[in-house]
Amino acid sequence: MRCFTILGPTQSGKSTLLKALGELEGRPVTAAFTDALTVSQFSYLGEPWAGFDIAGGPDYLGHAGEALAASDAAILCVPPDPDTAVLAAPYLRLIEQSGVPCFIFINKMDQDEARIRDIVGALQAYANHHIVLRQVPMRDAGGHVTGSVDLVSERAFQYREGQSSKLIEIPAAIQDREQEARGELLEHLADFDDGLMEQLIEDRGPASEEVYTILAEAHRDNAIMAAYLGAASHGNGLSRLMKALRHEAPGREAIGLRLGIEAPLALGVASDTRKHVGKSTLIRALGQGIRHGEPLAGAALGTLTGIDGKAVAEPLAPGALAVAVKSDHLDPGMAYDAEASLPLPRWTRGRPPTYPRLLLPAKERDDARLSAALGRMAAADPGMETSQDGETGHAVVHLQGPIHLRRVLAKLAEDFGIEAVEQPVSGIYRETVTGPVETHYRHRKQSGGAGQFADVVLTIRPQGRGAGFAFDETVKGGTVPRNYIPAVEAGAREAMERGPLGFPVVDVAVTLLDGKTHAVDSSDHAFRTAARAGVREAMERAGTVVLQPIERVEIHVPTIHSGSLVALVSSLKGQVLGFEAHGRARGWDVFQALLPAAAREELFQALGGLSHGTAWFESHFDHYEELHGKDAERIREARATELA
C-alpha cells in the first residue's frame, strides 16, 4: 500500500478530491478517524492506496505534519485563483520542510477563467522547488475549461461529465501555447538529465517515454513540484493525477531516510480517545511482520483492526495501515521500533501553540480527572501543550486559537465527561521596591511551653532589571548565629512571593545587618518568621511599582503582509526591532519586535485577521519594565479585586 496526504486551504475541495480519487475504480473504505483526519482506502489499477485528508485551517498543521511523515507523497489542493495563493503558503512551507514529493492539483477549473500561468506564478512565490506545469487547459469560446493537453504525451483530453475524458486532436488554437509550455517543461527537466540537455541543444525532440522517466525520477527525488489541472466535483483530471502518483511517488523505503530514522517498524499517524472505546492509534507499518501481541515501542501491540473496525490480515504488510486498540503506549508523531518510540522532527508538530488558557473543572471533584484527560489529549494533539499555572496550580492549555479551545472543551465533555471552564492566564505581572529601606523586626511569641524569639535588622534595596533576588549578611560578633542565617534567607524569599500590591516581587536584594537571639526560645522557625515579616514591612515602607513582562516576539509572515505589522506592533505599544527575509522559506519574512505580554492575545487576533490566518508567532520572555499611569492603576485595582 502507498499513502498520500491531501492538504490545502479551506474550501479548496480537498475532501471532494479524495472522495473522487477513491471512486475511480469502485467504492473506497472511508472513515473520519479524528476531527482533523479522514482516511480513505481504495484500489487503483490493482494496487492498494490510502489517502489522508487533513481539515483546512492553520490549527491543523500539526496533524498535517504527522500525516506527511507517514506518506509517500503530498497533494496540495488549491483553488484556481492567483489571489488566494498566499493561503496555500503555510502548506507549501510545511511540505518543503517535510521533504515529501508534492503534486499540486489546481481544482475547480470549471469555475474560473484565470490564466494557469498566473496561478502557477503566484504559487511559485512561496515555493523553493520549481513548479512545472504538466498540462495546459483547453477552453471554449466563452473561456471555460473543457479539457487539457498533457505536455509529455502531447495528447488532448476533452472532459465529459460522469465519464472518462475523450481523446481528441490538439485544437489548432492551442498548439502554439502547448509547444511553448512543453518547451519550458523540457528545459526545467534538462537540469536533471544531461542527455535531455544535449538533445535540446541539438534541437532534437525527446521521446515521450524518456521524458516520463526523467520526470518520474525528478519527482521521486523531490527535485520539482508538478502542477495538474482538474475539477474533482466533475471527475475531471483525476486519472492523470492518479497515474502520476502511481509512477512518480516513491515507495515506503524512502520514509526512514527522509526522517533520519534507521529501519523503523511503524509510524504513528494519528490518535484519538473516545468514550467507552479508549485510545486508538492509526499506524502505518514499515517493517516486516507486525502483528498483535508482539513488541512494538517497548510493549506488546494490542488488537489491530482496519479503519472500518474489521479485523485485518496479520502480519501487517509493509506500507499497510491499521488501527491499534488497547495500545495506550503508542502516541502519534512517533516512529516505533521493537524497543522504543522515537520522536519525529519538530516540523511534524506544526506551529507552536500561542494561545494559553487556564482550565478549571466546573466541579471541584473533577480536578484530578481534568489533569489526566488533558495529558491524554495533548499526547494525541500535536497543536496542544499543557502546563501548570505557577500561582494557582491550575492546568494551563496552550492551543492554536479560540476554535481549537472550543474543540478541546467539547471533547472533554463528550469523551471524558468533564465540564471545564476557561479563563485567561493572569498573574503575569510583578512588582519591585522603589528605594532602599532599613527595618528592625522582633518576633516574640509565648503561649506556654517553649516560646519563639528572633530579632533581625535588615535592609532591602532595588536591583537592576533581571537581577532577581539576592541575599547577603554582614553580621558581626555572632549576634545571629550562623546556623540561623539560612532560615533568615528562606523567610526573605517567602516574603517575595507576594508584595504589597499582591504580585510576586523581583529584583530585590536583602541584607541581614544585625539581630538578637534567646538561649531557649530562638529557632529556625522563629528567624524565618521574623525575616518574612520584616521584609514585608520594609517593602510597605519602601513602596513598590508594578512591572509588566516584555516579550521578544518573532512573527513569521508572508512578505505581502509584512508592511502591515509596523502599525500593528505600534498600536499594541510594542517596539519594532526589524525584519528580514526567511532564510529557508521563500516568500516569508521574519519580523522581530518587543511587545508587552499582556498584548499577546490582541496580537493573536489581529495577526489572524490581517494575514487571513497565514502568519504565526513565537514569543519568549525578555525583561520586565515599569508600568505607569492609568495602566498601572487598572492592574492594581484588578489585582485587589482578585485577592479580595
Q: pLDDT tens across 170-182, in order?
A: 999 899 999 999 9
Task: Encode pLDDT of 74-87 as tens digits.
Answer: 999 999 999 999 99
Summarize the confidence of residues 393-422 as an average pLDDT: 93
Summarize the confidence of residues 302-319 as an average pLDDT: 91
What is the four-CA torsion angle of 408, 413, 417, 422, rounded to 10 degrees? 70
- Burial code (b: 16+ CB inside 10 Å, e: under 16) for 36-75 equals bbbbbbbebeeeebbbbbbbbbbbbbbbbbbbbbbbbbbb
List the one residue out of 4, 3, 42 whose CA is nearest residue 26: 42
634 — alpha (psi -120 to 50), left (phi > 0) or beta? alpha
Residue with cell 471555460: 144
Looking at the predicted structure, is the pLDDT value of residue 122 above 70?
A: yes
How far apart are the C-alpha atoms of 346 and 132, rounded to whole Å?
29
Summarize the confidence of residues 210-236 as an average pLDDT: 93
Task: Encode pLDDT of 240-267 as tens digits.
Answer: 999 999 999 999 989 999 999 988 999 9
List the one residue out of 105, 100, 37 whose CA is nearest residue 72: 100
Looking at the predicted structure, is the pLDDT value of residue 136 above 90?
A: yes
Determine the pLDDT at residue 167. Answer: 92
The identity of residue 75, as a single letter, is I
Task: Encode pLDDT of 325-348 as tens digits.
Answer: 989 999 999 999 999 999 999 999
The identity of residue 415, as a single letter, is D
How far apart are the C-alpha atoms of 89 and 125, rounded to whole Å?
9
The identity of residue 330, as a single letter, is L
For residue 144, what pLDDT band results from cuts at 50, 70 and 90? confident
Summarize the confidence of residues 371-390 as an average pLDDT: 91
Determine the pLDDT at residue 58. Answer: 86
Contact 129, 102 (CB under 8 A): yes
Determine the pLDDT at residue 202. Answer: 87
Determine the pLDDT at residue 448. Answer: 65
Q: Which alpha helices (H) appear in 203-274, and where do they start and end?
A: 208-220, 238-248, 253-259
Determine the pLDDT at residue 143. Answer: 81
Taking residue 29's Cβ as centre, other Cβ atoms within 10 Å add up to 14
The three three-digit cell numbers of residue 359, written as one number: 482550565
Residues 6+ apart with CB under 8 A from 52: 3, 4, 5, 6, 37, 38, 39, 67, 70, 71, 269
How far apart are the C-alpha atoms of 331 and 367, rounded to whole Å?
24
Query: E strands along 559-587, which residues?
Result: 575-581
β-strand partners of 512? 458, 473
Contact 138, 174 (CB under 8 A): yes
Determine the pLDDT at residue 164. Answer: 85
* CA-to-CA separations, 442 to 456, 490, 493, 534, in angstroms, rounded: 6, 17, 18, 8
Determine the pLDDT at residue 437. Answer: 96
What is the four-CA torsion angle of 203, 209, 212, 218, rounded to 10 degrees? -70
Write down the mean pLDDT value for the chain: 92
In angstroms, the first-to-last Cα distance of the chain is 63
How far apart are the C-alpha atoms of 567 and 613, rounded to whole Å?
18
Task: Encode pLDDT of 603-620 as tens digits.
Answer: 999 999 999 999 999 999
Q: 631 versus 492: which is more confidently predicted?
A: 492
The three three-digit cell numbers of residue 449, written as one number: 511551653
Looking at the predicted structure, is the pLDDT value of residue 210 above 80?
A: yes
Determine the pLDDT at residue 273. Answer: 84
Contact 14, 53 (CB under 8 A): yes
* DSSP letter assigned to residue 419: -
Summarize the confidence of residues 365-379 as an average pLDDT: 91
How far apart are the C-alpha atoms of 198 and 185, rounded to whole Å?
15
DSSP assignment string, 107-123: --GGG----HHHHHHHH
Looking at the predicted structure, is the pLDDT value of residue 506 above 80?
A: yes
Provide, rounded to the nearest whole percent, the portion of the chain with pLDDT above 70: 99
Pairing verdict, β 295-296 and 544-558:
unpaired
Determine the pLDDT at residue 390. Answer: 77
Determine the pLDDT at residue 161. Answer: 84
Residues 6+ apart with CB under 8 A from 232: 13, 16, 17, 19, 20, 21, 77, 105, 107, 108, 238
Q: Cis before residue 345, ω within 30 degrees of 0?
A: no
Looking at the predicted structure, is the pLDDT value of residue 449 above 70?
A: no
